[in-house]
Chains A and B, each alone.
Chain A
Amino acid sequence: MTRGSSGIGVDFDRVTKRYGNMTAVEDVSLGIRAGEFLTLLGPSGSGKTTLLMMLAGFQDITAGDIRVGGQSIAAVPPEKRNFGMVFQGYALFPHMTVRGNIEYPLDIRRMAAADMERRLGAMLDLVQLRGFEDRYPQQLSGGQQQRVALARALSFEPRVLLLDEPLGALDRKLRADVQEQLKDIHNRVGTTFIYVTHDQEEALTMSDRIAIMNRGRIVQVGSPTELYERPRTVFAASFLGKSNFITRNGRTYALRPEKIDALPAGKGSGQNKLSGTIKAITYMGATLKLMVDVPGHASIEVQVPAWRNAGQFAESQAIDICWSDDAQVEVEAGDDEKAGVPPVRPSRG
């Protein structure tokens, strides 16, 4: 596969979308670099799909501007924007074969038959679907349909590819495979990928950068490592990965369960230490999940490697939990209403 197109940068400049009284997207500014794999991550209703639909041209912008390669596209109709798009549910044309689907954008652009054939071949190689060109979509599995949708969206060498929860309909194991393929394809074609999902795992494994959205706003933007290790708010910490929240002296700290050590009572040491009893143990294969009741706190989740701690813990056992200062991250509270994880009340004493 030749390196078809190279990506182009996309800038959201104070973009707002309102439906009557309802604000779906509020004052979002976000710069997406050329060739980047950027994920818009958020719960349903966070505005991520609306943002994508405004970029694709299917929704009007209420206020603000979107620029692609420095040019405003607010007034450009969807068919003139030249973005590839992979829809939720794929939206393949059921009355066309795989060939018909992939050649559709080329045919619309009046490409010569020989060029079209060559491009079709390259696309089928890219998504590993050689030999399937005369099948109809309903004769393909979900994963194959997803790849046809990808090939169709990339066949005309768009400079930006938009993906709206493209893996939602696939089963778990297949999803992991497709994630790798997508990442690989992104590396090969060099197109700017803008990926919308509510699945934190997809976001973590594929993205160059993630923009976490909540209630129409961007909460935090950064690389997966930055967001996971240094979340800025309670929402970011609890939506991307799991977090305990410890409140001390009016400050809230996020603490990942796997960064906490669990030791039999009295043996704990470290910069931070709490004593409690084990309320529940869940064996998760790689890890043991302990829910620990600590007086004055909500229960704290701890994850320890399962193989090293086999048989060490039992329910209602008294234990010490400890962690180092650099394991905890101070976060802003107050944006957490939709995160589903309430912050811990301040401990007395």
Chain B
Amino acid sequence: MSSAVQTGRFNVYWLLVAPALLLVLVLYAAPILNVLLLSFADPKPGLGNYYKIVESDTVSRLIFTTIRLCLITTIASVTLGYIVAYAMLHAFSTMRQRMMSILLISFWISVLVRSFAWLMLLGHNGLLNNALMAGGIIAEPLPIMRNEFGVLIGMTEYMIPYAILPLLANMQGIDLRVTSASRSLGASNVQTFFRVFLPLTRPGIVAASLLVFISSLGFYVTPAILGGGKVQMIAEYISVQLLVTVRWGTAAMLATLMLVSVLVLMYVLNRFMRLSTVFGGGPR
């Protein structure tokens, strides 16, 4: 943009940004630093909090559950999102716009509302169970909600739009004539998909997976409501440590752990695919 940046000379216009920068530093970076310090200092200085990752059954089970749920959510929402993105890519433009608006509207609906909507649909006294029982198909309500399966449904549904957008951006960067070329060379629709289209969408799949996985790590409301108290993920546990048991050191340690994992994943994302290719460009 400005040559001053490139030549390294101080650009006085940076001063205009300074107030905003200071605000971010004071209100954002400082607390995070404080959390980091707290994880090493409370209740007593040392690595005691971090030993819990391996020493405490509760904490290690918690981390394992979180990773497992996030992985399943990632696989499910990227798979389903891929199908939707593929359909949007091949839809006529008016239909595609309609699908895009529905996608964006779903972004605006609070996660809380959505979780309760799932309870009303699939819960113990939800629409589905009531209908099946009234129809005499089942005698007992199906245990869909208030367990891990319910949490996965809620998380996946919330994450699908996050999977669709990078996938769609990637797919729109593909010259669809390559699929016609593949068919003219003798490949069936299925062969064309697996040998040409799917490999070309790999950057989109990686980007969508990382985005969904990273975002899933912080799920708090969904497991709390749909898990029925039986499924606990890191975010909820942190809240309990802070507000109920008042063990700030453990909470700070878990928060730091999450932050570091996210940064590492972001680094991987940036390393293996340039972000420009992820959002729009073709492969390589």
Give B residues with C-beta under 8 Å from A. Answer: 175, 177-178, 180-188, 191, 195-196, 199-200, 282-284
Bound Cα distance from A57 to B182, whole angstroms: 13
Complex Cα distance, B183 from A82, in Å, reads 10
Given contacts A108-B191, A138-B284, contact A91 B185 (CB under 8 A): no
**A94: which of B184, B185, B188, B284 is its contact (CB, 8 Å)?**
B284
19 contacts between A and B (CB under 8 A): A78-B180, A79-B183, A79-B187, A79-B188, A81-B184, A82-B186, A85-B180, A91-B181, A92-B181, A93-B178, A94-B282, A94-B283, A94-B284, A95-B283, A104-B187, A108-B185, A136-B284, A153-B185, A162-B184
Chain A interface residues toward B at CB < 8 A: 56-58, 77-85, 87-89, 91-95, 104-105, 108-109, 136, 138, 152-153, 156, 162
A89 B284 Cβ-Cβ under 8 A: no
Query: Nearest chain A CB to B189's CB is how many angstroms away?
Result: 8
Which residues of A lie under 8 Å from residue B282 when comparing CB positions?
Answer: 94
A78: B residues at CB distance < 8 A: 180, 183-184
Distance, CA A80 to CA B175, complexed state (A): 23
| Bound complex: CA A58 to CA B189 (Å) | 12
Contact status of A152 and B200, CB under 8 A, knowing A87-B180, A93-B178, A136-B284: no
**Are B181 and A87 touching (Cβ within 8 A)?**
yes
Contacts of B187 in A (CB 8 A): 79, 104-105, 108
Nearest opposing residue in chain B for A82, CB measure: B186
In the complex, which residues of chain A have a beta carbon less than 8 angstroms from the beta carbon of B186? Answer: 79-80, 82, 105, 108-109, 156
Which residue on chain A has the smallest CB distance to residue B174?
A94
Which residues of chain A have C-beta atoms less than 8 A from B191's C-beta? 108
Closest to B181 in A: A91
A156 in contact with B185 (CB, 8 Å): yes
| A56 lies within 8 A of B184 (CB) | yes
User: Are A105 and B185 in contact, with the CB atoms below 8 A?
Assistant: yes
Q: How far is it, in angstroms, between the C-alpha of A80 and the C-alpha of B187 when the chains are bound?
A: 9
- Separation in Å of the A53 CB from the closest CB of chain B? 9
Knowing that A78-B183, A88-B177, A95-B199 touch, tell me 14 more A-B residue pairs with CB under 8 angstroms: A57-B184, A78-B180, A78-B184, A79-B188, A85-B184, A87-B177, A91-B175, A91-B180, A93-B182, A93-B196, A94-B284, A104-B195, A136-B284, A153-B185
**Which residues of the partner chain B approach A108 to less than 8 Å between Cβ atoms?**
185-187, 191
Taking CB atoms, residues of chain B closer than 8 Å to A88 are: 177
> What 5 A-B pairs come out closest when comparing CB atoms?
A91-B177, A105-B185, A91-B181, A85-B184, A78-B183
**In the complex, how many angstroms separate the beta carbon of A307 from the nearest chain B beta carbon?**
47
